[in-house]
């Protein structure tokens, strides 16, 4: 019962869209109608600027961390509870009940969840993802590298089966949510971090 409750809490935490809230409170806009249309830190950078983007990044990661730790506290004898609560938080961010199931892509929340469940594998995958972003300036590619490498590092480091399975689900979430980015990357049309289209603006783009 407590395990199921912790999963529900994880989903509801994930459904809190800080990008949406910053857009509404800061500029009175629905950030999903501006920039890339994504309710996440990268689009917050495009539309609202650096400060709000950093705050969204940290808060989105924090809700993933909180979801895992709440599950540990409520159902400490169930090894699957923290894993499922973390997945629920990512699902909540991607498909938030409070916003008609139209949310972000879940990478910051994924980092919070994964770092709490398996810090070192996440750190190693994260370093390579950051290097990838620094070299290419494609945030989407870095996100795909992070989630794609995480299961590999978990297997190489002999981490528990439930966490390996969760990492595969996380990768599936990420690749599904980034499917349009993957097409743009292949076509050479993906926006680069710091490009003109990434500057703050208030007009919706299609």
- 152 in a structural domain: yes
pTM here? 0.90
- 203 in a structural domain: no
pLDDT at site 195:
61
Burial 153-187 (b: 16+ CB within 10 A, else e): bbeeeebeeebbebbebbbebbeebbeebeeebee
Domain that includes residue 78, residue range: 2-198
The stretch 132-146 carries a mean pLDDT of 95
The sign one gets for the Cα dihedral 138, 34, 67, 3 is negative
Q: Is the pLDDT of residue 201 over 50?
A: no
Q: How far apart are CA 115 and CA 117, in angstroms?
A: 6
> Considering only CA atoms, which of 28, 23, 67 is closest in space to residue 46?
23
- 26 in a structural domain: yes
pLDDT at site 84:
96
- 204 in a structural domain: no
Confidence of residue 199 (pLDDT cuts 50, 70, 90): very low
The sign one gets for the Cα dihedral 191, 176, 172, 42 is positive
Q: Is the pLDDT of residue 200 over 50?
A: no
Q: What is the pLDDT of residues 151-183, one digit of tens each?
A: 999 999 999 999 999 999 999 999 999 999 999
- 206 in a structural domain: no
Tokens of 139: 């945030």
Q: What is the pLDDT of residues 180-193, one digit of tens each?
A: 999 999 999 998 88
- 93 in a structural domain: yes
pLDDT at site 172:
97
pLDDT at site 205:
33
Q: What is the pLDDT of residues 87-136, one digit of tens each?
A: 999 999 999 999 999 999 999 999 999 999 999 999 999 999 999 999 99
Q: Are 15 and 98 contacting, i.e. CB atoms less than 8 angstroms apart?
A: yes
Q: How far apart are CA 44 and CA 18, in angstroms?
A: 10
Q: How far apart are CA 73 and CA 59, in angstroms?
A: 21
Q: What is the pLDDT of residues 50-95, one digit of tens each?
A: 999 999 999 999 999 999 999 999 987 788 999 999 999 999 999 9
Count up the domains in the chain and report the number.
1
- 36 in a structural domain: yes
Cβ-based neighbours of 23, under 8 Å, separated by 6 or more: 29, 30, 31, 34, 44, 47, 48
């Amino acid at each position: 019962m407590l395990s199921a409750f912790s999963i529900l809490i994880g989903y509801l935490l994930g459904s809190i869209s800080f990008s949406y809230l910053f857009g509404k409170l800061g500029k009175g806009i629905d950030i999903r109608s501006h920039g890339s249309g994504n309710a996440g830190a990268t689009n917050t950078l495009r539309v609202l600027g650096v400060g709000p983007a950093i705050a969204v990044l940290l808060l989105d990661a924090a809700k993933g961390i909180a979801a895992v730790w709440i599950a540990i506290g409520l159902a400490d004898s169930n090894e699957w509870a923290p894993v499922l609560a973390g997945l629920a938080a990512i699902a909540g961010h991607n498909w938030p009940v409070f916003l008609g199931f139209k949310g972000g892509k879940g990478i910051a929340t994924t980092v919070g969840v994964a770092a709490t469940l398996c810090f070192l594998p996440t750190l190693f995958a994260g370093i390579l993802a950051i290097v990838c972003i620094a070299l290419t300036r494609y945030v989407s590619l870095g996100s795909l590298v992070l989630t794609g490498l995480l299961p590999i590092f978990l297997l190489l480091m002999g981490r528990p089966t439930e966490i390996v399975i969760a990492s595969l689900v996380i990768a599936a979430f990420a690749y599904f949510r980034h499917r349009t980015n993957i097409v743009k990357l292949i076509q050479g049309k993906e926006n680069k971090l710091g490009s003109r289209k990434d500057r703050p603006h208030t007009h919706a783009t299609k």
